[in-house]
Amino acid sequence: MSGNPEKLRVAVLFGGRSAEHAISCVSAGSVIAALDPQRYEVVPVGIAPDGRWVLPDPDQRMTITDGRLPEVSGGTAVSLVGDPAARGLAVLDPGAAIGPALTEVDVVFPVLHGAYGEDGTVQGLLEMAGVPYVGSGVFASAASMDKEFTKKLLAAAGLPQGDHVVLRDATGAVRADPALLSAADRDRLGLPVFVKPARAGSSIGITKVTDWEQFPAAVAAAAGVDPKVIVEAAVPGREIECGVLAGRCDAAPEASLPAEIRLRKGVEWYDFAAKYLDDAADFDVPAELTPGQTAAVQEAARRAYLALDCRGLARVDFFLGAGPDGGDRLVINEVNTMPGFTPISMFARMWAASGVDFAELVDRLVASALPVGGASSAARAGDAGRPAAR
């Protein structure tokens, strides 16, 4: 157990089995650095690409260095204990000398992006284990990860999205077959279109199609990431993002000042390389919007957060363009329940511009995951055997 009963033991989960493994490592490195060692005992837990959970080696790289992406590899094997009474981790390596300090954790911060991390799967595992965790629950995580169902729920709440088609055959089964996009669909969507894996992020597997001859290859690329493929009409407009945080003390969710992504000349769209490897975009934080536009973006972001039953945090991405009547047209592109999480990521930068620095942001998220009045694991251990207060 922790030597300081006032410290909270926070297990930071990172890596994972998705194509966004490396970005998760980078995000987690920033979260770990922001957790004040005077207040928190941090337990880094890496998930290797093959799904192994490990306490990573001390030299685990958590940054993109000279274009090389980080990856979880070696370490001491651990597993989440399924018994809710245990609330923590068990060491799997026989003879590993790490002591009993990892038998219980107070909260898990799952800094995981993509499949098996942001899609409700690890959230379900943590629910069964009875361990509090940062971020949205099973349903919101799954619904926000699947672009088809994100759009359905946002539409039910009266929030606008662009036109799209999910590739399905006559029986309703999902099939990544280019022939399933009918001539009528093509006419309605127009060109360009974006062909996407329905359940992925960081622009992985996405192709911008400007000629229908490119379409079969684009479908194959998307299906290589996820068997459900969605085809979206391009939405002209400025790329605007807005962060949402759970309100304090059960208050309404709060929205940050919005930001804008401006692609540099010669960059066609905001793909993986533009996001993480190339110096391809400029960021206006906050965005140059009118007060009315800012308020509209913030209100739509809060409504999207609530429509999807999100918890803790979310980043809502928009296109802001001209409507048919000459006014603004605000379209939601997607909702991210665990956005990129470094001090230079848009989520953190938007909150910094809104008066919440990175360390405070991490503190608020950890606090939002804990039950009211939750004690640290060490404090609970010290209370074991004492009569309950009356």
Q: What is the pLDDT of residue 4?
A: 64
For range 297-320, the mean pLDDT: 98
Q: Is the pLDDT of residue 141 over 60?
A: yes
The CATH classification number of 164-233 equals 3.30.1490.20
**Cis omega before residue 192 (within 30°)?**
yes
Give the torsion through C-alpha atoms of 365, 367, 372, 378, to 10 deg: 130
Average pLDDT, the chain: 88
pLDDT band for position 2 (cuts 50, 70, 90) = very low
pLDDT digits (tens, 9 = 90+) for 145-191: 999 999 999 999 999 999 999 999 999 999 999 999 999 999 999 99
pLDDT in tens, 22-50: 989 999 999 999 999 999 999 999 999 99
Residues 6+ apart with CB under 8 A from 95: none
**Range in 81-95, 345-359, 375-389 the model is least confident about:** 375-389
Confidence of residue 101 (pLDDT cuts 50, 70, 90): very low
Q: CB under 8 Å to 58, separation ≥6 — which residues?
A: none
DSSP-derived 3-state class of residue 313: strand
Q: What is the pLDDT of residue 115?
A: 87
The whole-number pLDDT of residue 198 equals 93
* Three-state secondary structure readout of 56-71: ECCCCCCCCECCECCC
Percentage of the residues of the chain whose pLDDT score is greater than 70: 86
How confident is the model over 215-267, as pLDDT tens digits?
999 999 999 999 999 999 999 999 999 999 999 988 999 999 999 998 877 66
Domain with CATH 3.30.1490.20 in the chain: 164-233
CATH of 144-160+236-369, one of 3.30.1490.20, 3.40.50.10800, 3.40.640.10, 3.30.470.20: 3.30.470.20
Q: Does domain 8-132+371-383 have CATH number 3.40.50.20?
A: yes
**3-state percent breakdown (helix, strand, coil) of the chain, nearest 5:** 30, 25, 45
Percent of the chain with pLDDT over 90: 70
Please list the residues that pair with 47 across neighbouring strands: 15, 53
* Residue ranges, CATH 3.30.470.20, the chain: 144-160+236-369
* pLDDT at 388 exceeding the cut of 50: no
